[in-house]
């Protein structure tokens, strides 16, 4: 694993990242809500890419991990712009393969649309687009609309998970499943059918909303939300390898 570096944004925030140079497309891993680049899936993808001689980029959104800022000030739009600026600084014009986990899957779609023709492909892991809409009760939405913070039970740690009004409002302004998502690159979606956080049906709705015809959705019957078991990680890297092979050597039309 390479050393952590810091990229100073135009607004003076410092974004922590790890980068390894190599052949493109550059793999960019986008972690989930309140997660960081030290997670098991992120580091596995980075180590695999490094071993394959592939360019790869990990990062912590502002307010997360080792990056500066307050998590309460974060939003999808802010983090999208941070990811795009860091990609521009590190990719040297290479095409990009985005890998997004949970909320990172929503962010992946926003970044992918912004990248346009530079987007080589995407791999989603339990993608959670629009969770500010389908994942919240009417009572929660009323509180968030009034500027309050809502706290959820956290199955992964002792402290409750906050949903801040700013993040929720920005999510509501960036809903995607009710429109055509303007991504034409090949897409692979992985989702566990024992996911207690993001219903696996969301991946079906996402596959339908994507403009690309090259979309494959794979369900893991005994998989949970994190998909971080050894077999899940192996499936993730294998999926990346297969997609990269398709990108590098596209099938010829008869």
Using H for helix, E for strand and C for coil, what is the string for 1-26?
CCCCEEEECCCCCEEEEEEECCEEEE
Say which of 170, 195, 197, 232 is annotated catalytic.
195
Name the strand (E) or helix (H) holding 164.
none
Catalytic status, residue 195: yes
**Alpha-carbon span 85 to 252, nearest angstrom:** 34
Q: Tell me how crowded residue 23 is: count the other CB atoms within 10 A of its CB.
A: 13
Say which of 62, 67, 101, 102 is annotated catalytic.
102
Please give the backbone phi and psi of residue 234, each rounded to the nearest 5 degrees, phi first. -60, -40
**Alpha-carbon span 39 to 57, nearest angstrom:** 14
**Alpha-carbon span 147 to 128, nearest angstrom:** 23
Catalytic status, residue 102: yes
- Cα separation of the two ends of the chain: 43
* Under 8 Å between Cβ of 15 and 80: no
**Alpha-carbon span 29 to 47, nearest angstrom:** 12
Helices (H) and strands (E) in the chain, counts: 8, 10
* Under 8 Å between Cβ of 238 and 178: no
Pairing of strands 119-125, 150-152: unpaired
The residues annotated as belonging to the active site are 102, 195, 225
């Amino acid at each position: 694993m390479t050393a952590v570096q810091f990229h100073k944004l135009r607004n003076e925030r410092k974004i922590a990242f790890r980068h390894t140079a190599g052949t493109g497309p550059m793999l960019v891993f986008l972690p989930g809500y309140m997660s960081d680049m030290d997670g098991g899936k992120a580091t596995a993808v980075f180590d695999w890419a490094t071993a394959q001689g592939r360019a790869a980029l990990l990062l912590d959104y502002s307010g997360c991990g080792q990056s500066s800022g307050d998590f309460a000030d974060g939003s999808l739009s802010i983090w999208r712009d941070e990811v795009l600026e860091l990609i521009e600084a590190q990719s040297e014009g290479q095409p990009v393969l985005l890998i997004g986990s949970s909320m990172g899957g929503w962010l992946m779609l926003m970044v992918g649309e912004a990248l346009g023709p530079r987007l080589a492909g995407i791999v989603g892991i339990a993608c959670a687009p629009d969770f500010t809409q389908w994942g919240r009760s009417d009572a929660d939405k009323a509180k968030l609309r009034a500027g309050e913070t809502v706290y959820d039970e956290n199955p992964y740690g002792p402290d409750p998970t906050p949903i801040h009004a700013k993040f929720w409002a920005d999510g509501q302004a960036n809903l995607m499943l009710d429109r055509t998502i303007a991504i034409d690159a090949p897409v692979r979606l992985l989702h566990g059918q024992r996911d207690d956080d993001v219903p696996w049906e969301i991946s079906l709705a996402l596959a339908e909303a994507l403009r690309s015809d090259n979309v494959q959705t794979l369900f893991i019957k005994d998989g949970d939300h994190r998909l971080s078991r050894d077999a899940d990680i192996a499936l993730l890297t294998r999926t990346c390898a297969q997609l990269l092979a398709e990108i590098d050597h596209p099938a010829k039309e008869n």
